[in-house]
Amino acid sequence: QVQLQESGPGLVKPSGTLSLTCVVSGDSITNNWWSWTRQPPGKGLEWIGEIYHSGRANYSPSLKSRVTISMDKSKSHFSLNLSSVTAADTAVYYCARHVAVTGTRGFDIWGQGTMVTVSS
Amino acid sequence: DIVLTQSPGTLSLSPGERATLSCRASQTVSSSYLAWYQQKPGQAPRLLIYGGSIRPTGIPDRFSGSGSGTDFTLTISRLEPEDFAVYYCHCQQYTNSPPLYTFGPGTKVDIK
């Protein structure tokens, strides 16, 4: 059974850096693309970025200047760093696995999500 | 960039009724790159449909996806009590490099 588990600080100060990790179990992290998505309280979903085991990463243009996604294959986890955060970055952050069927798109396995609040 | 618009914003129906949810894209989307999710309060999204019309293992066949070009539909043939939730469509802009993923704003299906 594939499981994803996010972890990281639940509170980040304004102008600081939000850092989260997603641990993958039950699947090889080298089999798929992996994404981060967030959801502000009471609002919709926003894709942040994705990474492949080659190290190739792609980011949402609206966040690209502040986002870095990396992977540690030896620990079977990938990470999100979001710098210069403001209250607008307060959200539940989800990691997710991409569907492995060639030529299709979708995120088939999601972590439970972790709430991050930006506040002093 | 592609914008996804979902309608209606809220759909009020009774158990047993048919639900038809619309997702319209601001430009052509490959149906293979269109997905639908269900989200209940306090839970992560759950993939219902990927590749436009493919149900992952374990998704009941009352859920179906269809459409092409800019207009896509999620149909729930007979609503069960557990189906009352928010539904999001999702696509990748395959014409762009690098890729960009977009979510619609969601349709809430609530009990009438």
Amino acid at B54: I
Which pLDDT value is given to residue B96?
60
Q: How far is A85 from chain B (nearest CA, A)?
A: 22
Which pLDDT value is given to residue B109?
98
Which pLDDT value is given to residue B87?
98
Q: Which of B4, B33, B50 to mutate to test the interface with A (most CBs of A within 10 A)?
A: B50
* CB–CB contact B44 A94 (8 Å): yes
Q: What is the dihedral of CA A89, A87, A116, A92, to 10 degrees?
A: -50
Nearest CA-CA partner of A24 in A42, A43, A51, A45: A51
Which pLDDT value is given to residue B31?
92
Confidence of residue B9 (pLDDT cuts 50, 70, 90): very high
Predicted confidence (pLDDT) per residue in B14-23, tens digit:
999 999 999 9
DSSP-derived 3-state class of residue B4 = strand
Residue of B nearest to A48 (CA): B101
Q: How far is A58 from chain B (nearest CA, A)?
A: 6
pLDDT: is B98 or B44 the higher one? B44
Q: List the single range of A21-30, B26-35, B40-49, B90-99 with lowest mean pLDDT.
A: B90-99
Q: How far is A99 from chain B (nearest CA, A)?
A: 8
Round to whole Å and give the CA distance between B81 and A50: 34
Predicted confidence (pLDDT) per residue in B54-111, tens digit:
999 999 999 999 999 999 999 999 999 999 999 999 998 866 667 789 999 999 999 9
- Chain A positions touching B56 (Cβ under 8 A) are 99, 108
* CB–CB contact A61 B47 (8 Å): no
Confidence of residue B13 (pLDDT cuts 50, 70, 90): very high
Contact between residue A95 and residue A112 where contact means Cβ atoms under 8 Å apart: no
* CB–CB contact A105 B100 (8 Å): no
* CB–CB contact B103 A44 (8 Å): yes
- The tens-digit pLDDT sequence of chain A (120 residues) is 999 999 999 999 999 999 999 999 999 999 899 999 999 999 999 999 999 999 899 999 999 999 999 999 999 999 999 999 999 999 999 999 998 888 788 999 999 999 999 999
Contact between residue A32 and residue A22 where contact means Cβ atoms under 8 Å apart: no
A42 to A47, A76, A90: CA distances (angstroms): 16, 31, 11
* CB–CB contact A45 B88 (8 Å): yes
Residue of B nearest to A93 (CA): B44
Residues 6+ positions from B28 with CB-CB distance below 8 Å: B69, B70
Round to whole Å and give the CA distance between B37 and B86: 8
